[in-house]
Chains A and B, each alone.
Chain A
Amino acid sequence: MEGLIGRKVGMTQVFDDQGRRIAVTVIEAGPCPVVQVKVPETDGYSAAQLGFDEQKPSRLSKAQVKHFEKAGVKPCKVTKEFALDEGEAVKAGDAVTVGMFDGVKYVDVSGITKGRGFAGVVRRYGMAGGPMTHGGHSKRRIGSIGARDLPGWVEKGKRMPGHMGNVNRKGRNLTVVQVRGEDNLLLVAGSVPGPKGGVVIIRKALKK
């Protein structure tokens, strides 16, 4: 299995085997039931659709309820497709647990970042802004946005104030510190996008 769906629990610290303190993010990962198996004959590719987080059937459409019923699993809030490993065979109804990350050194974790609303350019892009004192009148303003006659317009993609956060972001090559099978927890070094309780997708690192 390529990855798993989880929930960010929060952060703490643990000591590694060299006695160093490591800041870790605790992720409640799975267990995720296989809701549907996609096969090349009917779907054109092979993958497994996993579910996470139980949902009341009354909150879903009839079509969705039947979709889960067909697999013989409880309805889920989140579903996501993952590629299968070479030669891996799964069937609907199987549960995938954090155990799949045993022996995996690095993972990519993606989630939806905290929304910051309409943010200025200092917060959004780390621009310096103007002087706060000495009669500064452009304290947190953007400054110049271009020249005059040449080119006579503002460059496309010029960084300006606007909505910040609430977008999908991925933390790449995060070290797996601990896999706790009995608690369904995964400890990953460093931070992970999103608030506590936010849904995250954990995948085996693509580039390591």
Chain B
Amino acid sequence: MIAKAIDKINAEQVAKADAGKTAPEFKVGDNVKVFVKIKEGDKERVQAFAGTVIARDNKNGNSATFTVRRISFGVGVEKVFPVHSPYIDRVEVERSAKVRRAKLYYLRKLTGKKARLREA
């Protein structure tokens, strides 16, 4: 009973978030565009955040997140998104890269040409 109840709630949350969504598989190293729903007053619009996926945490659980990094006006910006957030409209993969690590935190220390990833 104890663990089952929590599993049920988690599965429900995941199912609700993914309902009607074509969730594309994306991996660490992919260049993605994350479309996030933003509420302004009573209007809702979609804003995109493009960048490289440098980490995926907690794999498939209800609390799974992924981190997207981009260089914006010369400043590194990272955003962590919950995979199953109802506020993520969709994720588009623009480019995949061959990476040898699960977490690309080393990109934080690199800039310019050194921060490139090899295309898959």
We find that the number of chain B residues with CB closer than 8 angstroms to chain A is 19
Which one of A21, A26, A196, A197 contacts B9 once the chains associate, using CB atoms below 8 Å? A26
Distance between Cα atoms of A196 and B8 in the complex (Å): 17
Q: Identify which of B26-34, B69-77, B80-88, B91-99 touches chain A.
A: B80-88
Q: Are B85 and A26 in contact (CB under 8 A)?
A: no
We find that the number of chain A residues with CB closer than 8 angstroms to chain B is 16
Given A14-B13, A15-B17, is A9 in contact with B82 using a C-beta cutoff of 8 Å?
no
Q: Are A19 and B85 in contact (CB under 8 A)?
A: yes
Interface residues of A in 1-60 (CB under 8 A from B): 9-10, 12-15, 18-19, 21, 26, 28
Q: How many A-B residue pairs have CB under 8 A?
A: 44
Q: Are B5 and A26 in contact (CB under 8 A)?
A: yes
Q: Is A183 an interface residue (CB 8 A)?
A: yes
Given A12-B10, A14-B13, is A185 in contact with B85 using a C-beta cutoff of 8 Å?
no
In the complex, residue of chain A having the shortest beta-carbon distance to the beta carbon of B2: A9
Binding site for B on A (CB under 8 A): 9-10, 12-15, 18-19, 21, 26, 28, 183, 185, 187, 196-197
- What are 9 contact pairs spanning A and B, CB under 8 A? A9-B6, A12-B6, A12-B9, A21-B85, A26-B6, A26-B9, A185-B5, A196-B2, A197-B2
